[in-house]
Structures are given as C-alpha cells and as structure tokens.
Chain A
Amino acid sequence: MSTLDTLTDAELVRRCRAGDPEAWNTLVERFSRYVYAICVKGFRLKEEDAEDVFQDVFTRVYTHLDKLRDDAAVRPWIAQLTRRLCLDAIARGSREQPAPEQDFEESSDDFAEIEEAFAVREAVTTLGDACQEILDRFFARDQSYRTISAELEIPAGTIASRIARCLRKLREKLEAA
C-alpha cells in the first residue's frame, strides 16, 4: 500500500493540483472501479463504450481539476461527470440504434446500490487491517471459515464472531459518516 492511499480525497486532490504524478495514479486507481461501475452497472454500457467513457472521464478530471470548488467533493463531481458522459455515449448510440426506455428506469436503483457499495468500501478502509482482511476473505473471496482459520492462523470457532464484531464496527463508522 502506498502512503498516498491513506490520504483523504481532499488531500489527494491537492497533491494532484501540485503536479504530483504519483498522486494522479492514486486518484485514478481510487476512482477507476467507481467510474467503471457507473458505466457498466448503472448505464449498462457495452465494454468498449465503457472504456471510452472511462478514458474521457479521467482526461476531463485531469484538465478540469482546477474548476473543482470543494476538494472534498471530488467523488460526487466524478460521478456527475461520468453520468453525463454515459448519457452522451447512449445518445450517440441511439442515433444508430434506439435504446429501450426501460433500461433508464431500471438503472436508478443501481445507482443507489453503487453509491452504497462504495460508501461501504470506503468505510471498510477505515477499519483496522485485521478486520479488513477477514471481511475481504469472507465476503469478497467467499472463503470458508476453515480456510480463513488455516490461512490467518486463528481458531475456526472464533471466526464468525470476529466477523460479526468487525461488521458492528463498520456499521458504527457508516452511521457516524
């Protein structure tokens, strides 16, 4: 993990403005899955269209970062930019082949899910390493209690309770946010 990974969004934006190339890499890495999720899950763009929007979003972030008034609001700013560019991509596509209206109606729930997923992900990064590790193994990698027990060398019988405690901490962080 780079030291830049621990910076807040606002601190990271300040470093980018100062011309730190490593900060740019970190910014792209931090928001790449978010942008991609909006394109693919929210707007259901095809892979090649999603890639075009992805490139366009970060090019604009790079060129227009000075216009961002509140450094801490970089995430909603990127989200708004991504949505606008996704709509442009759909409009371009619909001139060739009209898209069914229903897709747009269905996607509003997906946006809420994406926002929630990323809020959870961000909150997870504020937990200690032990919690991050065990939650990632159980919920993201679908590992069994026995595998987690063997690889982390902790008693199998305590894993469910450890996960439950970590989830409680996570809920407290999310409620406090």
Chain B
Amino acid sequence: MAFAAGLVAMVARCSKDWEEAGGIAAQALALQARAAPLAHADAEAWEDALSALRRAGTGGGDDGGPRRDHALEQKLERAAIVPLEIAALGADTAALAAVAGERCDGAYRADAAAAAALAAGGARAAAHLVEVNLGVQEGDERLAEARRSERAADEAAERLLAAIR
C-alpha cells in the first residue's frame, strides 16, 4: 500500500503541467505515512491473537471460562480492525491513483494504473483478513465495511485500467 501511494506521489510530481499535482502528491505522501505503522500494527495484533488462540487450544491462559473467551474475542477483533483500516487506506489510495491517472502527464498514466491495481489488491487482501480474523458471516458490519472499501478500490482501478487499454 505504501508503495502504491509512493507511486501516485511520483506520478504527480512528474506531471509538471498539472496544477493540482502538488496537492495530489501531498495526499499520496500522507497516505503513505499512514500505511507503514498500520502494517506494523497488523503484524503485532495478529501475533497477539495467534498466541491467544494457541493458549486457548491447549487449555492454557491465566483465567478460564467466559473471561478467557472474552479476552480471546477481543484479541481477534483487534486483529481484524487493523486490516479494516488497511482496506480503507487501499480504497483511498486507489481513488487518488485514479484521479492522478485521469489528469497526469500521459507518459505516467500506466504508473498510476499500476498504483491503483496494487492498492486494490491490498484492499482485497485486507478485506479477506477481516473475514478470516473475525471468523464472521456475511452481514457483519465490519466485514461489510471492509467489502465496501474493497469494491471502491476495485472500481477505481478498473475505471483507470479501462481508460488506458
């Protein structure tokens, strides 16, 4: 995701005749800055949830019964919230890449499309992680939110790819 946002910034910076390029590059860099800590938080939250799952599987843990289940549920939920934010970031990055692709210097349009496709892929992977980490069914609001981000990112990327084919 950070790479996709960096690509958008590069496309904007290279488009010298585009008046809004500076503002688009600034947004891309802001999205890039949000991505790195999220990746770190995702790994940490998942490691934490995995340890809790292992303890639950072996009957370990400091407390038993409902309290342990609640603690495990909380850890799994945290492991799903970070990818939910990553999915939203993917939607934003793809949307920004689409704007860049429509208005940038033509020589860099393919780079913008690559950024949009990367961001859409990231959003899809993150939405899948939300589903897996929560173990929820369709209809759960968090999963629905992740799916909305995935769809928005996909649509932005598809629109741009269709325009340059």
SS class, residues of chain A in contact with chain B: helix
Contact of B26 with A160 in the complex, beta carbons under 8 Å: no
Asked whether, in the complex, the Cβ of B95 is within 8 Å of the Cβ of A156, the reply is: yes
Q: Mark B141-160, 1 if CB is under 8 A from A, else 0.
A: 00000001100100000000
- Taking a contact as CB atoms under 8 Å apart, the answer to whether B26 and A167 are in contact is yes
| Distance of B112 from chain A, by nearest CB (Å) | 12
A30 part of interface (Cβ distance < 8 Å): no
Question: Interface readout for A75-101 with B: 1 if CB under 8 Å, 0 if not?
Answer: 000000000000000000000000000
Q: Which of B59-67, B86-94, B125-133 contacts A (4 or more CB under 8 A)?
A: B86-94
Q: Are B30 and A168 closer than 8 Å at their CB atoms?
A: no
Please indicate the chain A residues that have their CB under 8 angstroms from the CB of B69 in the complex: none
Chain A's interface size range is 10 to 19
* Distance between B163 CB and nearest chain A CB, rounded to angstroms: 14
A164 touching B95, Cβ below 8 Å: no
Those of A137-171 within 8 Å (CB) of chain B: 138-139, 142, 144-146, 156-157, 160-161, 163-168, 171
CB contact between A163 and one of B27, B88, B89 (< 8 Å): that residue: B27
Whether B23 and A144, one on each chain, are in contact in the complex, defined by CB atoms closer than 8 angstroms, is: no
Number of interface residues of B (CB under 8 A): 19
Per-residue A-contact encoding for B24-37, CB less than 8 Å = 1, 0 else: 10110010001000
Complex Cα gap A15–B152 (Å): 52
User: How long is the Cα–Cα vector from A144 to B153 in the complex, in angstroms?
Assistant: 13
Closest B residue, CB atoms, query A144: B88
Could you say which of B24, B26, B92 contacts A144, with CB atoms under 8 Å apart?
Answer: B92
Residue B47 at the A interface, CB < 8 A? Answer: no
For B4-31 the 0/1 string (1 means CB < 8 A from A) is 0000000000000001101110110010
The docked-state distance in angstroms from the alpha carbon of A160 to that of B18 is 14
Contact status B22-A167, CB under 8 Å: yes
Alpha-carbon separation in the docked complex, A142 to B27 (Å): 11
Bound CA–CA A139/B89 (angstroms): 13
> Contacts A138-B27, A142-B34, A144-B88 given: A168-B22 contact, CB under 8 Å?
yes
Known pairs A142-B34, A146-B88, A146-B148; A166 contacts B23 (CB<8 A): yes
Closest to A167 in B: B23
- Which residues of A line the B interface, CB within 8 A? 138-139, 142, 144-146, 156-157, 160-161, 163-168, 171
